[in-house]
Amino acid sequence: MADACPLCGGAVRVIAERYAGYQRGREFSLRECAECAASHAWPLTADDLVYERIYEQIRFVPGYNRYDQYAREVLRWRDPLSYLSRQEESYWAVAERLQKRRRNAHDLKVLEIGCGLGYFVFALMKDRFDVLGVDISSAAIAQATRHYGSHYAVKSLAELKSDARRYDVVIMNQLIEHVPDVHSFLADAVALLARNGEFIITTPNKSAFPGALWETDLPPVHLWWFAEDTMRYLASRHGCSVSLVDFVEYNDTHFRPKGPDIAPVRSPVLDEQGRVIERQMIRSPSLLRRFFERSHLLESLRSVRGALSGRERWRGSRGPVLAAVFRKN
């Protein structure tokens, strides 16, 4: 398997050897498939201990600390789904798709796989969706239940398949890039769809960074970096049609600075003992910032500041995150 793509069986080429991992002292090779366009790390193995270290220190872990902030902030908002949709394009894409489905079908049954801290499920629940969040982490589900209520369960996909319930929409938000055995995972998830159901997948978008080596979290946190063509291949392989969410509206209304086409090589986040190397804590928003957020003026201020700084922004239908919608054929 080292010489063939684990997704499509096509020939892979090594694009980096001894590439630094998420934890200092660990190294991986990076491989790219010319046929399905996916890149993956080798060895292709997840490490639960790394995730334990991240969640133990989540308030200080660069990148993950924003999830901790969202988990606290959603409780302050009358419309937490709108709040999350303004923060990141992945939440916006899922919310837009769900609202569109709800216009054509009432009482949608929604499942989020890998709900983690549970704040997105809470936001959907507050928007009157019939939603369940599942995760294999009992600690995460316990925290979500404690903060948001009883819309959560510790369940694997195999356990969900054995239930009779099927879902109109299944969400996998920023999860698939963490999974070693993508095909098995997708097959189980697609099996949970009701008739005419949709499976929404968001993941970092390799197609938005042509020429970049690995513009996503370091392995073994992210094991994959998927392109738009990869999503088309995966949908076909699992008997689905696919459409990609168009981000024109989001990019037009949200200022998101665009970095260099080829980003610098990332550095490890954890040291050899699993401690955060450079602790970063996000301060709680000030009352003034919350006022601007609630009055929908914050994005206007960001756009003005970005224009004055001369920074390039994301434009058009593509962005650093892709959102694919699978429908069973």
All domains in the chain, ordered by first residue: 12-328 (3.40.50.150)
- The DSSP output letter for 101 is H
Distance in angstroms (rounded) separating the CA atoms of residues 83 and 49: 32
Mean pLDDT over 123-146 rounds to 94
Distance in angstroms (rounded) separating the CA atoms of residues 90 and 92: 5
What's residue 211's pLDDT?
A: 86
What's residue 295's pLDDT?
A: 77
pLDDT band at 260 (very low <50, low <70, confident <90, very high): low
Distance in angstroms (rounded) separating the CA atoms of residues 214 and 179: 17
What's residue 120's pLDDT?
A: 98
Secondary element (H or E) of residue 143: helix 138-148
Q: Model confidence over 13-69: pLDDT tens digits?
A: 999 999 999 999 999 999 999 999 999 999 999 999 999 999 999 999 999 999 999
Q: Is the pLDDT of residue 128 over 50?
A: yes
pLDDT band at 241 (very low <50, low <70, confident <90, very high): very high
Q: Model confidence over 266-312: pLDDT tens digits?
A: 899 999 999 999 999 998 888 888 877 877 777 777 777 777 777 78
Secondary element (H or E) of residue 69: helix 65-73
Within 13 Å and on the Cβ side, how many CA atoms surround 210?
Answer: 1
Q: Is the pLDDT of residue 103 over 90?
A: no
Within 13 Å and on the Cβ side, how many CA atoms surround 173?
Answer: 26
pLDDT band at 1 (very low <50, low <70, confident <90, very high): very low
The neighbour count for residue 168, using CB atoms within 10 Å, is 21
What's residue 270's pLDDT?
A: 98
Report the mean per-residue pLDDT for the chain: 92
CA proximity to 296, closest of 86, 130, 120, 137: 86
pLDDT band at 263 (very low <50, low <70, confident <90, very high): low
Global pTM? 0.93
Distance in angstroms (rounded) separating the CA atoms of residues 40 and 219: 9
- Residue 1, SS3 per DSSP: coil
What's residue 3's pLDDT?
A: 80
Distance in angstroms (rounded) separating the CA atoms of residues 110 and 129: 7
What's residue 122's pLDDT?
A: 98
Distance in angstroms (rounded) separating the CA atoms of residues 155 and 103: 30
Distance in angstroms (rounded) separating the CA atoms of residues 93 and 98: 9
